[in-house]
A = this chain, B = another copy of it.
């Protein structure tokens, strides 16, 4: 890991990743359809599993699993080493310590999570939870991001349904920014910004996509990209890993529905989603709420965004929500 001396931005260098299925110099990806290292029967093509939900009588690292978690074969972080930083003149670097894992979401060659059963998606979410609970026991890991890259334009190197987990020895800047903003709001008004957000979104209504007892799905007021969609739990909880079992099933239903709506509205777009959750080593925080952010990748980040840190969005969230609401997912 290296830190930019001007803006203190950390970059992780993973030179080995030049060897992974996307050749770093290629502009597009072609994976032969008959080569799926994530399919059942090809377990030997991944590192040994960290967790698997298996049928009775099946053996670790053999067939008979439903969801399987393995270390990333081309990790951007490494699991061993110390955290000592190194100074060379104006520059600071350190070992990129962390755990980089792949959650293989189904045994068959399926590309779209939305086509998995509710039970299957529920087991994927359970795998997220259980990996986070395990990593939490290791004091070196202070944060973990669960994320998904769907489609080559969203950064996926393999089409088989999968998500990833990246545990780091520091709290990433995007999470720090959210924690700072949420704490400031809480100090100023003695109420969680997420609570106020849910109330205001429900009162206004124009950006709401789906509203259930447990979750609010909406296109955020300052959406960075067309059809950005957030899933917010309605009950307090700063850490995703503390989600209760019945909530997992509900979230699976909601997630399947939202993914189908986005796929229908945007003709199976590339997308990313991630779960923002409080640091592993912090207690329950009354001012923060874990949530999922889904970002379809139908426009390209360009020079203005890279050069300013601002975003330009050609679609209002109210327009996007209207389109999404009109789609009956089932």
Chain B residue with minimal CB distance to A89? B200
Determine the main DSSP class of A at the interface with B: mixed
Number of this chain's copies in the assembly equals 2
**A9 B224 Cβ-Cβ under 8 A:** yes
16 further contact pairs, Cβ within 8 A, besides A5-B221, A10-B311, A24-B298: A4-B222, A5-B197, A6-B178, A11-B312, A15-B319, A18-B314, A25-B267, A76-B312, A145-B303, A147-B304, A149-B302, A155-B300, A172-B307, A172-B308, A274-B303, A301-B301
Chain B residue with minimal CB distance to A319? B15
State whether A145 and B307 are in contact (beta carbons under 8 Å apart), knowing that A3-B222, A315-B24 are contacts in the complex.
Answer: yes
The verdict on A71 contacting chain B, using a C-beta distance below 8 Å, is no
The verdict on A27 contacting chain B, using a C-beta distance below 8 Å, is yes
The verdict on A276 contacting chain B, using a C-beta distance below 8 Å, is yes
The verdict on A273 contacting chain B, using a C-beta distance below 8 Å, is yes
The verdict on A316 contacting chain B, using a C-beta distance below 8 Å, is yes
A273, B14: Cα distance in complex, Å: 24
Residues of B within 8 A of A303 (CB): 145, 147-149, 154-155, 164, 272-274
The verdict on A51 contacting chain B, using a C-beta distance below 8 Å, is no
A175, B304: Cα distance in complex, Å: 12
**B153 A27 Cβ-Cβ under 8 A:** yes
- When each residue 201-245 of chain A gets 1 if its CB lies under 8 Å from chain B and 0 otherwise, what string results? 000000000000000000011111010000000000000000000
